[in-house]
Structure 1
Amino acid sequence: MSPSTLPATGQSNGSLEYEDVTIQIDGIKSKNHSQAGLPSAVETTTPGHALGGDLAKLFSDNVVLKIWKTAIEHIERENPPQSFPETCPQTGPQAGQYQYRDAEFWTCGFFPGSLYCLLERSVRYPQAFLTEAGSGVRERERLRTELLAVCRTWSEPLHDMAGRKDTHDIGFIVEPALRRDYELTGSARSFASLVRAAESLASRYSETTKAIRSWDRFVNNGNSFVDKESEFLLIIDSMCNLDLLYYAGHHASSQRLIDIATNHAHTIRATHLRPEPSVPSSSDALYSTCHVANVCPLTGRVLQRLTAQGYAAASTWSRGQAWAILGFAQTYGWTGDATFLRTACGLADYFLLRLREAPACVEQRRDGGGVGRHVPLWDFDAPVDEARPLRDTSAGVIAANGMLLIAHAAAASGDFARFEKYYKAATTIVDETMALCYAKDSLELVGQESGVGVVARRASGCAESRFDCILKCATANFNENWTDRYADHGLVYADYYLLEFGNRLLQFGYA
């Protein structure tokens, strides 16, 4: 998500209003007619790009119906939700069925966020929402009408979590849903929860280390960090929680929140980034990343670098690299500090280098060509099973979002060579991800008389097995020091960042 102005307040009953607003996204200002303070598209001088191939699936009805089906079926059992979707196994007795986590787990905000991505799309970009002929007009309109209420049902538990000070993941928990609820409806309650969550995150900041403590403890079969007096754990994922601080800081006029976010970004740049040899294809210094750094609480000095979810301390865990790309790109969008943009570019270029250098087994033959090189391995340095290379689609789509922000920043500054480089990289990653890992079971809308007016069912004649996620081939955690290891599955935040990528293309006028 990227900077925007304060939206006009909507009706208290959640109805959406049209306003004339000035918006600012990554340095580009534009006057737009928008619903609830959001632009229909940012006007730039960037040449238009038609989406072809598998990218078109980003806006298919099936993407909408998968999220809708899971949302409705779960709240018919549990309302409001007390558990949230996380993984969807590809094999075993529960293959194709979402597995749920309790509401305290850090991933709980992504499914409500996915619903709000659909709401955002239906409000701002109706030309890209439920446009296929397969669904009846009446059923499509009923879904549109009921979508906000379902979003609110799923996001309700998130408000109580805004006061949590036991986690740095509060940005992941509240922002995907509640920021959109505020921007699309003007909800004062959602805005208050966002600000409260930002204050909760800021409470974990140390002026000594100039950083926000990521974890209070880290214990598995190979590690035991439990002493907060002598240990201060920082993880690369934390870069993507800074967006909450910047958003709340700017909208609530708190320079303190803004400064905390910027200080933390500078600290992570020093503690987690590893300089890599330069390559001719990049004009920026290249960086890989470690996952975890333990620093001294009294001095901020790095005591140890290690991993929790990657292959090894010195390896490059692909999702960690992706978090860094997106986080530093977002930070540049808020600060305008070119250091953060160069850092994001160096991280992205290293990610792309490792995609190019992956073994030949990552490519599969399709339609006379190869596909799969741009769907990243779960860790760029882990041993590869050539018969079944283990990938992480979430790493790819998260990185693609960051690269799209870099491309948009380049377009804003008139650097169209850089724009083309990162736009092409981002869309190629998502295109190949959709080609290789898109779950092909199909759904259709069915009206009903009681309860929610429209539900999604398996389409008649669909031969593919049920799969609740949009994407397959994610890897949540394959580190050997954990008893529970998860690989080759669907993953809720892979789907969320896929939806967000589609919305960003629409937002920036690239689709």
Structure 2
Amino acid sequence: MKLILVSFLICLASCKSLTKNKNSVVDNMAVANIVSFDLEREINNCEAQLNKSVPKLTDLTKHPRLIETNATEWKEIPNGRLVWTSGFYPGILWYMYDLTKDDKWKKEAIKRTEVFESFKTINEHHDIGFMMFPAYGNGYLFGDKMEYKDVLLTSAKSLASRYNPKVGTIRSWSNKMHPRWQQHITIIDNMLNLELLFWASKNGGDQKYYDIAVKHAETTMANHFRPDYTSWHVIEYDSISGDVLNRHTKQGYADDSRWSRGQAWGIYGYTMVYRETGDKKFLDFAVKLTDKYLELLPEDYIPHWDFDVPNKEKEERDASAAAVVASGLLELSTLVEDRNKQQQYYDAAMRMLESLSSDEYSGVGKADSFLLHSTGAKSLGHEIDVALIYADYYYIEALARLKRMGQSN
């Protein structure tokens, strides 16, 4: 029997280190849906893809960002202070080291991580969490690189400097970068940067980092979501009064449409916030966001780039959103107490991973990426139906989480 079925049985029977509810039991309804996913095969496929791509990626001043439609090799872009995706490639290498314990991946990860140590002082935008935690955070956690602690603490200080207590959120973009908005901008993506602050508060950083992260999550929960628990992308606040001025989008189809990756950031983000705080209001909210997202999915569980785009059947999918949610749902399945929800979310995550690993979405044999068919910003006219480095990052994170779940007994 394939490894993933064994992992499923072990996890739902006794996930001791990852779940708050140690009375999980196996329900038969989902077993038939997951036996076709072979975890070890997919880990091996990812390693084979890296063996193919890493020798081509030799310029340490750049990182792989995307593979264009019908191309096979990564397009590299400079590791600039304004480029939010630079941390995902070293993060992938750290996950491969964690999965294989092969020192060659550790050496490659170190090489690709340490080239942007100076980014720890970034305060021009909120994305320092995306940039530093997958790289330096994973190196600290998986590579025993204790010297990365100071880099992460400095990065957290830089991120916290963008917090506006009058609004109750960390300011995302600068108005110079995005002149459509004149005051305090917060985007839903910013939820994932909070993990850096939570980590710092537990590892020698100021308690205020925890308080900022919690307040940001609370304010976002109050203002960033519609009554049906779907997310807006961009909220513009009055920087003095904290009042909401506008609810818009940058990467979705329209201001009032439901951008699928925005919903994915919310699901992942509030699951993480509950893990870090233990506050049930965040768990309940993550459940509401998840249930709505699952309700909107097509049959193969890979969303279109926006849930409300016209002529949806002709529109591109977003594998990156699916990868983010698959990873988040694996964790959420260990945090909810209701056994039916445990089962539902685990099964949904496995359906997503099955589709992502299928010939339809896998890059194996076609390109150097793990995944194909992501959409970064169709509304802006770029990154349409491409491979994206962050899709690969959250996919390998999901595989790593799945493996740890099978080992926790």
So what's the TM-score if we normalise by structure 2? 0.89
Within the alignment, does 1:113 sit opposite 2:91 as a pair?
yes
Q: For residues 120 and 44 of structure 1, do their structure 2 counterparts lie closer, same or farther at Cα, with a shift above 3 Å needed?
A: farther
Contact conserved, 2:164 with 2:170, CA < 8 A, in 1? yes
1:54-203 counterparts in 2 under 5 A? 54-56=37-39, 59-75=42-58, 78=59, 81-91=60-70, 95-104=71-80, 105-123=83-101, 144-203=102-161
Amino acid at match of 2:112: W
Contact 1:288 1:350 in 2 (8 A): yes
Higher strand residue share: 1
Specify the SS of the correspondent of 1:508: helix
Judged with a 3 Å threshold, the aligned counterparts in structure 2 of structure 1 residues 66 and 422 are, in CA distance, closer, same or farther, namely same
Aligned counterpart, 2:12: none
Q: Does 2:258 correspond to 1:335?
A: no
Runs of 5+ unmatched residues, structure 1: 1-22, 29-42, 124-143, 277-286, 359-371, 442-464
Shift of 1:26: 5.7
Distance in 1 (CA, whole Å) between partners of 2:259 and 2:176 is: 18
Q: What amino acid is the match of 1:438? A: S
Counterparts of 2:156 and 2:388 in 1: how far apart (Å)?
A: 26
Aligned to 1:224: 180
Counting helix residues as a fraction of each chain, which structure ranks higher? 2
Match of 2:250 in 1: 308
Q: CA–CA distance in 1 between the matches of 2:347 and 2:311?
A: 27
| Paired residue type of 1:437 | Y
Match of residue 207, structure 1, among 132, 148, 165: 165
Measured after TM superposition, the shift of residue 218 of structure 1 is 6.3
Instruction: Supply the distance in 1 between the matched residues of 2:242 and 2:41 (Cα, whole angstroms).
Output: 43
| 1:444-503 CA distance string (max 9 Å, x none) | xxxxxxxxxxxxxxxxxxxxx4x0111111001011xx3x42211111011110000011
Whether 2:185 is the aligned partner of 1:239: answer no
Tell me the SS of whatever aligns to 1:288: coil
Aligned residue number for residue 476 of structure 1: 376
2:185 alignment partner, SS class = strand
Match of 2:303 in 1: 376
CA distance, structure 1, for counterparts of residue 308 and residue 176 of structure 2: 23
How many Å apart are 1:62 and its aligned residue?
Answer: 2.3
Verify the 8 A CA contact 1:391 1:475 in the aligned structure 2: yes
Listed as ranges, the matches of 1:279-294 within 5 Å are 287-294=229-236
Tell me what 1:346 maps to: 288
In the alignment, residue 302 of structure 2 is paired with which amino acid? V
CA deviations on 1:188-223 (whole Å, 9 max, x unpaired) are 321111111111100000111111000112667xx6
* Residue 424, structure 1, aligned to residue 351, structure 2: no
User: What is the total number of aligned residue pairs between the two structures?
Assistant: 386
**Which of 328, 333, 355 is equivalent to 1:407?**
333
Task: Say if 1:159 and 1:398 are closer, same or farther in 2 by CA, change over 3 A.
Answer: same
Question: Which residue identity lines up with residue 157 of structure 1 in the other structure?
Answer: V
Q: Which residue of 2 aligns with 1:11?
A: none
1:321 aligns to what SS in structure 2? Answer: helix
Over 3 Å counting, the alpha-carbon distance change for 1:74 and 1:299 in structure 2 is same
Contact 1:57 1:434 in 2 (8 A): no
Q: Is the 8 A contact 1:439 1:471 kept in 2?
A: yes
User: Relative to 1, partners in 2 of residues 1:112 and 1:46: Cα closer, same or farther, differing over 3 Å?
Assistant: farther
Q: 1:273 aligns with which of 212, 221, 225?
A: 225
Structure 1 residues 57 and 317: CA distance shift in structure 2, 3 A: farther
Q: Which residue of 2 aligns with 1:462?
A: none
Structure 1 letter corresponding to 2:207: Q
Of all paired residues, the percent bearing the same amino acid is 31
How far does residue 401 in structure 1 lie from its aligned partner after superposition? 1.7
| Paired residues of 1:117 and 1:500 also in contact (CA < 8 A) | yes
1:391 lines up with 2:317 in the alignment: yes
Letter in 2 for 1:308: K
Distance 1:189 1:469, change over 3 A: same
Q: Which has the larger Rg? A: 1
- Helix, strand or coil: the match of 2:378? coil
C-alpha change, 1:199 and 1:70, in structure 2 (3 Å) is same
Corresponding letter in the other structure for 1:117: Y
**Quick one: structure 1 residues 249 and 269, their matched pair in 2 at CA, closer, same or farther if it must change by over 3 Å?**
same
Q: Distance in 2 between the 1:252 and 1:378 partners?
A: 40
**Structure-2 separation of matches of 1:149 and 1:440:** 24
TM-score (norm 1): 0.72
Partners of 2:105 and 2:113 in 1: CA distance: 12
Structure-2 change in CA distance of 1:108 and 1:46 (3 Å): farther
Deviation at 1:376, TM superposition (A): 0.6
Q: Please report how far the alpha carbon of residue 427 of structure 1 lies from its aligned counterpart in structure 2 after TM superposition.
A: 1.1
2:244 aligned with 1:318: no
Residue segments in structure 2 that go unaligned for 5+ positions in a row:
1-15
- Matched to 1:380, the amino acid is F
What is the letter of the counterpart of residue 328 of structure 2?
G
Distance 1:102 1:47 in 2: 48
Given the superposition, is the C-alpha separation of residues 62 and 275 from structure 1 closer, same or farther in structure 2, using an over 3 Å criterion? same
Tell me, in whole angstroms, the C-alpha distance in 1 between the residues paired with 2:292 and 2:176: 28
Which amino acid in 2 is paired with 1:326?
A: Y
Aligned to 2:35: 52
Task: Kindly indicate whether the alpha-carbon contact (under 8 Å) linking 2:68 and 2:387 is maintained by their aligned counterparts in 1.
Answer: yes
Distance 1:335 1:381, change over 3 A: same
Counterparts in 2 of 1:428 and 1:55: CA distance versus 1, 3 Å: farther
SS at match of 2:230: strand
AA partner of residue 379 (structure 1): D
**Tell me, what secondary structure is at the counterpart of 1:85?**
strand
Instruction: Please report the RMSD computed on the Cα atoms of aligned residues, expressed in angstroms.
Output: 2.2
More off after superposition, 110-119 vs 372-381:
372-381
Instruction: Give the distance between the partners of 1:109 and 1:180, measured in 2 at CA.
Output: 10
1:497 to 391, 394, 401: 394
Q: Counterpart amino acid of 1:439?
A: G
Deviation string, structure 1 residues 78-102 (Cα, Å, up to 9, x no partner): 2xx11111111123xxx11211121
**What SS class does the counterpart of residue 106 from structure 1 fall into?**
coil
**8 A contact 2:39–2:399 mirrored in 1:** no
